[in-house]
Amino acid sequence: MPELRQDIITGEWVVIATERSKRPESFTARAETGPDDRTNCPFCYGHEAMTPPEIMAYSEEERKPDTPGWKVRVVPNKFPAFSHEGILKEFEYGIYRAMTGIGSHEVIIHSPDHLKDLDQLSTEQIDLVLSVYRERYLALSTVEEYKYILIIVNHGPRAGASLRHPHSQLFAIPMVPHLLEMEISGAERYFREHGKCVYCQMVSFEMKERVRMVAENDRFVVLEPYASQSPFETWIIPKNHLSNFEEITDSDKRALAGILKGILENIADNLGDPPYNYYLHTSPLHQRDLQHYHWHLEILPRLTIRAGFELGSRLIINVTTPESAAEFLRAGYGQGNLR
């Protein structure tokens, strides 16, 4: 059972994931990611038995679970950072506090194609992946112990991807994590002071200024945030206020698939296919129709290394202005520019 431990000084929590634990010795041999080899890929057709039994899948034809023919497939993570077996329990250990690492850790396989990254899939296929996001959110939001669901993508080994076959990961966890707490309490404070959603304000300000705007369609803007933490940090924000991603309409979901494909293609084509992470920030579970919070997707290309200053202070030094990054990406759309 993974364990959550609280830092006695800062109050921050850390997951000690014993299920995926590494022996100290294993760090001395610097592990490189394996060869780009489909024969051992647990996410390719015909290898369904290499994963734990599937949670769900989309397919056109009827099929038996854990057989080929699926279009998107969801399976439990084989080395979960959170476990859905056991009970949620806080406990003390001497002067410290801890809790059981209850939760769910799932893998969403984007397509049967071993090499096609998200931006190389059709808009229809990306739309299907987003449908799975929504469906899993809705299914897991009924579990009382879960307080937050975070869906993320790790693209490339230097962004933490350990398997090449493109996939998302979903984490259902027993607390609202620190970054989301900061976002939500900050947004709440802004709403109290200004009577407006801070994300709605930002969208309207940036659409006027245009210097940090990258692209837009009817439903979404793509922009570089004013206080970007890294070069090319990019957010996709819905133009209309909505606190909970899982309430996205089919037509908005389709529009998101299109704009997500466009920006990921742009980044891959014009920045040399860099490693990146993206993560979907939405309301905590069991909270709906928040006036002050606004779901969005954050893309973080991993072009620089966080060094001692950043890790020792949490004050990030960014060497590229969001204005110049936005200008570069606007040009990067070329013929296909959404504007």
Binding site listing for Zn(2+) = 41, 44, 114, 165
Q: Is 8 in the site for its own copies (CB under 8 A)?
A: yes
Give the number of residues in contact with its own copies, rule: CB under 8 A.
97
CA distance 295 to 325: 23
Half-sphere exposure of 328 (CA within 13 A, CB side): 15
For residues 63-102, which are near its own copies according to CB under 8 A? 81, 93-96
- Give min distance, CB of 66 to its own copies, in A: 26
What are the catalytic residues? Answer: 167
Shortest distance in whole angstroms from residue 283 CB to its own copies: 14
Whole-number Cα distances in Å, 14 to 8, 17, 19, 154, 245: 11, 9, 15, 20, 26
CB 152 → its own copies: shortest distance, Å?
A: 3
Tell me the CA end-to-end span of the chain in Å, nearest whole number.
50
Per the document, the length of the chain is 339
The verdict on 220 binding its own copies (CB under 8 A) reads no
- Residues 256-285 within binding reach of its own copies (CB under 8 A): 270-272, 274, 277-279, 281
Which tokens belong to 145?
């112990």
Q: 128 is written with which tokens?
A: 């299907």
Residues in the annotated binding site: 41, 44, 114, 165
How near is the Cβ of 125 to its own copies at its closest, in Å? 20
Segment 146-175, which members bind its own copies (CB under 8 A)? 148, 150, 152-154, 157-161, 169, 171, 173, 175
124: its two tokens: 């229809």
Which tokens is 292 given? 């002050």
- Beta pairing class for 104-109 and 167-173: antiparallel
Out of 1, 13, 68, 241, the residue judged to bind its own copies by CB under 8 A: 13
- Cβ proximity to its own copies: between 262 and 322 the closer is 322
- Candidate list 10, 39, 142, 335; residue touching its own copies; CB under 8 A: 10
Site for its own copies in 221-240 (CB under 8 A): 225-229, 231-232
| Residues in region 290-329 near its own copies by CB under 8 A | 298, 300, 303, 305-309, 311-322, 324-325, 327-328
Nearer CB in complex with its own copies: 47/196 = 196
Confirm if 107 and 77 have CB atoms less than 8 A apart.
yes
**212, 225 Cβ separation under 8 angstroms:** yes
Interacting residue with its own copies among 23, 64, 192, 339 (CB under 8 A): 23
Of the candidates 205, 204, 177, 182, the residue with the CA atom closest to the CA atom of residue 293: 182
Q: How far is CA 334 from CA 81, 113, 118, 123, 329, in A?
A: 41, 27, 20, 19, 9
Say how far apart CA 239 and CA 183 lie, in whole Å: 18
335 binds its own copies (CB under 8 A): no
Q: Which amino acid is residue 205, in one-letter code?
A: F
Scanning residues 175 to 214, which ones bind its own copies (CB under 8 A)? Answer: 175, 177-180, 182-183, 186-187, 190, 198-199, 201-202, 205, 209
Nearest CB to its own copies, comparing residues 87 and 307: 307
Torsion of CA 299, 304, 309, 313, to 10 degrees: 0
